[in-house]
Structure 1
Amino acid sequence: MAVTTGRRTDPAASRRSFSAGAAAIAVVLCLVVWEVLARGPLAGGPFPTVGQIAGALIELVGLPAFWASLGETVATALIGLGAAVVVGVVLGNLLGAVDFAYRSTRLIIEVLKPIPPIVVMPLVLLLLGPSPEMGVFLVFFGCVWPVLIQTVAGVRDVDPVLVDTARSFGFSRMQRAVRLVLPSAGAFIVTGVRIAGSAAFVIAVVAQLVGGAPGIGHDLFVAQSAGLYPQMYALVFVMGMVGLAFNHALRAFEKWVLHWHPSVRKEVLR
């Protein structure tokens, strides 16, 4: 009896390859359409060709000032996000564990969380001026609410039986928070960090673009005002790539922190 052997195709790998191929084709089509429009109906306007944008990008990469501005923007986003995570997690644990504190501050949180950071920018500009501190505060203001709300929800979702059991074994409040509450609420907290992280870089760029704080957003405003359209679109491309890197880094952070969580394990095994 003849036995035939062959390699089994992995459906997940096939889907990933197909998705990557489709994404590459979509990017190429967009570039072709842009090039046709820039050389045809939109020629002579504020729409440079793909080659001009690529040339401006290569020129920018060789400038130390570009890297300084990019570093300023990334640092603003990371510092503001880090402060938001620390404050959101600590305050969220307090509000989630103490019912009176949660009920007393719930209305304040519900009023403040829908306010976009750009709305408070005029006040922050009056206090801090167009400085890096202004950008950090705006990032903090925009990112602290999702972390805080998710932390409160996670802490309040902890099984009370587990808390009572830990208390009966003599665990202090700090020990219960570190060994029981934080691990149980970890999925909620990481979700809040992902939501906040997705907005951190955008808020930093907007603070620099509108508020005049130093960074790549301010460089974009200067390029637009001076009519340097290839440089302007090159900066837009850079911001898109940095935002994509932010999202991938947050995704990797979630998988690292929640490697034990069923949702992450299913994704890995899929």
Structure 2
Amino acid sequence: MTVTHTATRLRRAGSSGPAVGTAAVLACLVLWELAARGPLETAPFPTVGALVTSLLGLLASTSFWSSLGQTLTTALVGLALATGGGILLGMLLGSVEFAYRSTRLIIEILKPIPPIVIMPLVLLLLGPSTEMGVVLVFYGCLWPILIQTIAGVRDADPVLVDTARSFGFGTVQRAVRIVLPGAAAFIVTGVRIAGSAAFVIAVVSELVGGAPGIGRALFVAQGAGLYADMYALVVVMGTVGLFFHNGLRALERRALHWHPSVRGEVAP
């Protein structure tokens, strides 16, 4: 099969993607309606009509948009802090062998600990606040960015580094001009992985920890028995999470448009 035929098939598959996705969503809505009017009729499970009504009511509410804005702020601020801290610390640990070996065990111990485990401690220190959510997002997002940055720095071509050193480049110049561009693909991958978790961690910090945001609105709706609103909020969370992920993917393609791994996604 020629490259042209392969590219044509890829373009056709990509063009049919939205139609297939729309059909899948419609099928899920039909199954939802059948379940709500059938085996789950006596359960707190709203029909599609009630779900849409609640969703429209939420979209017309200023408190909903305020809660959503607080959740997005928590996720983005925590992710930004984790990105900056992870890159700086990863550059240091990846460049200095002694620092890497000294902290490797600590990183291996801390990275498997989920943010929800340290939530009681952070909640005790900061209370149910936005700052608490930011700290949890920062903690959860730091590790993939840090680990990917270290891997990218240690993967730097030693020939290029030695050549730059022979031309009189200082440590900072070598890091900025040689090591960082070479590690960019690793770093962006880490940011994308962390970004997918940032919104989830922010919602969990609000749902469990009581921080202000859409997660707490979900908890209040559940406690008040507003099940249609509760499911509508779940739909909103899923939709926002999808846009969050796609936005990070677009940012990755834009930031690494020159990298072979990204250029390979676009068929010639």
The TM-score, its normalising length taken from structure 1, stands at 0.95
Find the counterpart in structure 1 of residue 228 from structure 2: 230
Q: Which runs of 5+ in 2 are unaligned?
A: 1-6
Find the counterpart in structure 2 of residue 5 from structure 1: none
Find the counterpart in structure 2 of residue 170 from structure 1: 168
Find the counterpart in structure 2 of residue 269 from structure 1: 267
Find the counterpart in structure 2 of residue 55 from structure 1: 53
Amino acid at match of 2:188: V
Separation in structure 2 between the aligned mates of residue 226 and residue 76 of structure 1, nearest angstrom: 25
Secondary structure of 1:267's counterpart equals coil
RMSD: 1.1
Mapped contact 2:115–2:137 kept (Cα < 8 A): yes
Aligned length: 262
Q: Which of 33, 37, 42 is the matching residue for 2:35? A: 37
Aligned residues: percent identity? 67
Question: What does 1:3-152 align with in structure 2 at a 5 Å threshold?
Answer: 10-152=8-150
Q: Deviations over 1:98-134 (max 9, x none)?
A: 0000000000000000000000000001000000000
Amino acid at match of 2:36: A
Q: Which of 185, 204, 225 is the matching residue for 2:183? A: 185
Find the counterpart in structure 1 of residue 237 from structure 2: 239
Q: Which runs of 5+ in 1 are unaligned?
A: 1-8
User: Following TM superposition, by how much is the alpha carbon of 1:11 offset from its aligned partner in structure 2, in angstroms?
Assistant: 2.4
Are 1:202 and 2:206 matched, yes or no? Answer: no
User: Following TM superposition, by how much is the alpha carbon of 1:25 offset from its aligned partner in structure 2, in angstroms?
Assistant: 1.5
Mapped contact 2:10–2:267 kept (Cα < 8 A): no
Amino acid at match of 1:111: I
Q: Which of 214, 219, 222 is the matching residue for 1:221? A: 219
Separation in structure 2 between the aligned mates of residue 111 and residue 249 of structure 1, nearest angstrom: 31
Q: Deviations over 1:159-197 (max 9, x none)?
A: 111111111111111111111110000000001001100
Find the counterpart in structure 1 of residue 253 from structure 2: 255
Q: Deviations over 1:5-64 (max 9, x none)?
A: xxxx94223212333222222111111011011011111311000010100010011111
Amino acid at match of 2:110: L
The TM-score, its normalising length taken from structure 2, stands at 0.96
Worse overlay, 15-24 or 166-175:
15-24
Separation in structure 1 between the aligned mates of residue 149 and residue 257 of structure 2, nearest angstrom: 19
Secondary structure of 2:265's counterpart equals helix
Separation in structure 2 between the aligned mates of residue 16 and residue 181 of structure 1, nearest angstrom: 35
Separation in structure 2 between the aligned mates of residue 159 and residue 134 of structure 1, nearest angstrom: 40
Secondary structure of 2:156's counterpart equals coil
Separation in structure 2 between the aligned mates of residue 139 and residue 179 of structure 1, nearest angstrom: 30
